[in-house]
Amino acid sequence: MTVKVAIAGCTGYAGGELLRLLAQHPEVEVGALTGRSSAGDRLVQHHPQLSAYADRIVEPTELATLRGHDVVFLALPHGASGPLAAELSQDTLVIDAGADFRLESSQEWQAFYGSPHAGTWPYGMPELPGQREVLAQTRRVAVPGCFPTTATLALLPAVTARLVTGEDVVIVAPTAPSGAGKAAKAHLMASELLGSATAYGVGGGHRHNPEIRQNLRRLGAAEPTVSFTPVLVPMSRGILATCTAPLASPTTADQVRQAYLEAYADEPFVQLLPEGQWPQTQSALGSNMCQVQVTVDEAAGRLVAIAALDNLTKGTSGAAIQCMNLALGLPETTGLHGQGVAP
C-alpha cells in the first residue's frame, strides 16, 4: 500500500515536523509540498535538517497542486484551511493541523478567533473514548491543539472515572515558542526569551480555552470550568502541563493511580511513569509519547496530574500521522515511535 501525501504549508514548524516523521513512514510517498510566500524556494532554505527533501521545490498552495493526492495535510495559519478544504474531493483524506475545524460551537469560534466558523470535523485524539472508531471511518480530521492534548491526557482517566467533576480545573503550562509558528514576532526573539519566563493569554484569553472545556465535556464533565495559564519559556520544543481539580469524593493516591493504570494500559503513546517520577519535556523530545504522572494533594483535596509532550510531535504532527494511519486502516503506530532524544 503506497499513499501519496501532499503538505500545504510545508515550510512552517508543523510542516517540517510532518516531513521529518513521514520520511520514516513505510507506506507514504511524499508528493506536493506547497507554501505561499515560500513558493519557488528549495525546501532546504527553510528546513536544512530535512536532507531527504533538500532539493524539493516549494510549489504554490493551489487546488490544482493539491488535487490527486490520497492525503492532504493542511499546516496553515488559522482561518486558511476552511476555504481550501471545501474545494478538495470528499474522497481525499484531509487532515487539518490548524484550529479551523476543532470547535463544535460557532459562537466560541467567533469569540476567540474573530472570523466565521468553517464547521466541525471529527476530532483527532484517538485516546478519547470511542474516537478510534470515528477516525477509522472519516475523510476529514481536525488535529487537536497542543495545550488541549496535554491537558486532556493529563486529566482523562480522572474525569472518566468520576474522580473529579471537571469543575474548578486549574492548568498552568510552560511551553516552547515553536507553538506560535515561524513568523517573526518581537516577543519570540531570543533577546526577549532567553533567561525569562512569561505568562500570556492570562484570564481565559488563550484560544485553546474552549477546546479544553469541550474535551472535558466529551469525557463526561457536565459543566467544566477551567482556569488556564500558558507560560512561554526559553526552550525549542515541549509543554509541561500541571493540572489540578477538586476530588469528587475522598480518594487516595493509590486509587487515583489505579484508574490511570487501567485507562492507559493499552495506549501506545501515553506513558504513566513509575510512582515518584515526574514528567519532563526533555524525555518526550522528538517522540510521539505523552508522559503522565498523578497524585493527590490531601491537604487541598485536589487531584494533581502532570503531563509532558513535544508540542510539534504528539502535540501536532505526530498526532496528525496517528490519525492518518487510523483513517487509512494502517496500524496506528506506523511511522511513529515513543522514544525521546536525550540529553
Residues with active-site annotation? 146
Please give the Cα distance from 76 to 98 (Å, whole number).
6
Please give the Cα distance from 130 to 124 (Å, whole number).
12
Please give the Cα distance from 236 to 270 (Å, whole number).
22
Order across the sheet with 169-175: list the strands.
198-199, 226-232, 169-175, 239-246, 302-309, 290-297, 270-272
Q: Residue 227: which residues within 8 A CB-CB, separation 6 or more?
A: 168, 169, 170, 171, 204
Sign of CA dihedral 46, 47, 53, 54: positive
Q: Residue 3: which residues within 8 A CB-CB, separation 6 or more?
A: 27, 28, 29, 70, 71, 324, 328
Grid cell for residue 58: 516549494
- Looking at the DSSP bridge assignments, the partners of residue 271 are 291
